[in-house]
Amino acid sequence: ITTGGGVDTVHLTAVDLNVVETVDTGDGVDTIFAIQTSLNDTTSDVIDGGAGTGDTLSISVTGTVAPFGNNASLAGIENVTFTTDAMVMDLGNQTEALNVTTANGTNGVTFGGTAANKFTGGTGADTLTLTQAALAAAGTSTGGTGANVLALNAASTGIVDANFANMSLFQTLTLTGIS
């Protein structure tokens, strides 16, 4: 699916990405609506919001979104929103800065790389998982009003208090593989 410049809206159903391999919305402030099951072949599919800024991937239906296979699999998207709760999404392969906003309920997001990613949790118990490099680079992130977890998942001895300057409303810190 390729659209032109301007404001575009694309709706993907459960079967769409089994048939459509690439979505490219071109320039403009675009929105791609997808249900979680339409994003489970993220190793070969490409979602590209184009050259504009403010492009959004809006995901609904409870479940785990398969990790995007590489950085090029999700491109030109600046915002990711969950419209239902109980969503889990691994964005560890992405190098661009993303603003992720979750719905109410329990949700999980993983960031990798060194981009200034931002996370906004809802009212449930959300988990934000980061490497130390992603934590150091992160933009302002808040866990929301639930009992939230900030999880660091890669070995590092370079974690300092300043790395947490942009983090708020995370009640639990977990360290996995940290030395």
pLDDT at residue number 41 = 59
- Distance from C-alpha of 175 to C-alpha of 179, rounded to nearest angstrom: 9
Whether the Cβ atoms of residue 89 and residue 80 lie closer than 8 Å to each other: yes
pLDDT tens figures, 33-60: 887 666 665 567 788 898 878 999 998 8
Residue 32 β-bridge partners: 10, 57
User: Does the structure show a pLDDT above 60 at 16?
Assistant: no
User: Does the structure show a pLDDT above 90 at 107?
Assistant: yes
User: Does the structure show a pLDDT above 60 at 175?
Assistant: yes
Which H helix or E strand runs over 10?
A: strand 9-12
Q: How far apart, in Å, do the first and last CA atoms of the chain sit?
A: 46
Question: What pTM was estimated for this model as a whole?
Answer: 0.88
What does pLDDT average to over the chain? 85
User: Does the structure show a pLDDT above 70 at 3?
Assistant: yes
